Structure 1
């Protein structure tokens, strides 16, 4: 069965970079790529009380501009990687970005979303743009991957999987991580960051379950003594030059502790790698 991947785009270099990363990551698989552009109109915003009529001149002009931009984008992607396993589809719409994404997920049965990020140059001290953060937090229907600006594809030899072992693991939630690890014979480094390394009985049980689920792939377990979870993960990734971070997004707490603005302002984030948020 083909994999269906959604890539929202504003036709920026950042969005193009994310698209190229996705094409390379899934170069071995049959994929349907859906590119989504939410266009804007002068005088209208998604906060306006009235929406423009689809047959109005300004609507048709904006839609045509989006269509032309898609033609250029597809030409660039085919030059980058003209893969017979890949098919491209484009969607132009005037809508809230989150609503457009959710509608496309439902209508096209999307398996994975790949997003570009704002990058450190966008807003000082912020690695992930607000749209990317919102998508990774709010979209629960499928995994979301964020590809930082200027990160070029390299085989993900090492994937860091941070966890506190407090929630029970399920095979289906980890299926995308395991699929990527199998494709590239990656090693998954399971990372537990805590002041104390003693696990409760429940945590130990969950750790053994995770070990069983990851049995088909290379993996090992690491403990790191660190007061700050986010700082521990960052230093681990940097020191090992890891290629990707994957984590299960539980109830926002872990997400916010890793990607909050204070983290970036306090310690910076030099070893920028793609992030895969599993739900």
Structure 2
């Protein structure tokens, strides 16, 4: 049984992400912690200014609690035939601090959230909450793009950075997820030149040992920007989910905020699963 943290701001985007998670884990027994975080300065500038004679509880807590209860009640009804346990959590703190506290106190195995971004010219841009959770919360995180319709993650794409190792805990965690939920893993070792990397030399031996009996493809691509490789591969293969092995901020920064890879975050159309090294 896993402990899964579902983050919501009550937007359609976040609710869609919650529904993805529940559909993904159908047929299993899991504890779902549904967390809504209110930002303190929002209270001071908005709610408290118009609260009048209402108590702080009525103006700040009760409203959010009722909305969260309505949301969770709906999820429980929709998935009443599943072995799911739900717990509602409301916090008034810095968003990432709140998430980190829940991850620690509830022994969370996976965080699920929407992109909380804005849409412009049909491009989804990751919002600050999503970016900060991936950067600052050391817990596997599954991010669902806006308006993404659930599809079983049968085929997963894993781009490998210069220093990413397939012989580590993060890759082992990915393989546990893959063997449970998907049918095929696509591995892309992306490098800036034709020089043979130390990790590249280790890949084949390790992959042949630990992916025995599991369907996979392995490719090495050089002299091509990461965003071009990923976008081209997704267009020519039936990829349902992208996975990343994040070493601190290195790969993440290049994948989402580097000058050559910003386009990936704008055009990401499938869920993203991040494991921290």
Measured after TM superposition, the shift of residue 33 of structure 1 is 0.4
Kept in 1, the 8 Å contact 2:33–2:87? The answer is: yes
Tell me which residue corresponds to 1:37. Answer: 36
Kept in 2, the 8 Å contact 1:126–1:264? The answer is: no
Q: Deviations over 1:229-262 (max 9, x none)?
A: 1221122123213100111001312111111275
Kept in 2, the 8 Å contact 1:160–1:190? The answer is: yes
Q: Which moved more, 1:207-216 or 1:145-154?
A: 207-216
Measured after TM superposition, the shift of residue 228 of structure 1 is 1.1
Tell me which residue corresponds to 2:73. Answer: 75
Kept in 2, the 8 Å contact 1:3–1:29? The answer is: no
1:121 aligns with 2:114: no
After superposition, the CA RMSD in angstroms is 2.7
Cα distance in structure 2, aligned partners of 1:171 and 1:272: 28
Cα distance in structure 1, aligned partners of 2:30 and 2:189: 34
Q: Deviations over 1:194-237 (max 9, x none)?
A: 34454234431244224433335322201334431122112212
Tell me which residue corresponds to 2:91. Answer: 93
Indicate the structure with greater strand content.
Answer: 2
Q: Deviations over 1:165-192 (max 9, x none)?
A: 5244445323442233222342000012
Kept in 1, the 8 Å contact 2:254–2:261? The answer is: no
SS of the aligned residue for 1:44 comes to helix
Kept in 2, the 8 Å contact 1:31–1:85? The answer is: yes
Structure 2: give runs of 5+ residues left out of the alignment. Answer: 46-53
SS of the aligned residue for 1:121 comes to strand
TM-score computed with the length of structure 2 as normaliser: 0.85
Cα distance in structure 2, aligned partners of 1:124 and 1:96: 30
SS of the aligned residue for 2:19 comes to helix
Kept in 2, the 8 Å contact 1:40–1:62? The answer is: no
Kept in 2, the 8 Å contact 1:234–1:269? The answer is: no
Cα distance in structure 2, aligned partners of 1:170 and 1:86: 33
User: Of 220, 230, 242, which residue of structure 2 is paired with 1:233?
Assistant: 230
- The count of corresponding residues between Structure 1 and Structure 2 is 267
Kept in 1, the 8 Å contact 2:28–2:83? The answer is: yes
Tell me which residue corresponds to 1:184. Answer: 181
TM-score computed with the length of structure 1 as normaliser: 0.84
SS of the aligned residue for 1:4 comes to strand
Structure 1: give runs of 5+ residues left out of the alignment. Answer: 46-55
Tell me which residue corresponds to 1:61. Answer: 59
Measured after TM superposition, the shift of residue 4 of structure 1 is 0.3
Tell me which residue corresponds to 1:84. Answer: 82
Kept in 1, the 8 Å contact 2:153–2:240? The answer is: yes
Kept in 1, the 8 Å contact 2:194–2:223? The answer is: no
Measured after TM superposition, the shift of residue 16 of structure 1 is 0.2
Kept in 2, the 8 Å contact 1:38–1:93? The answer is: yes
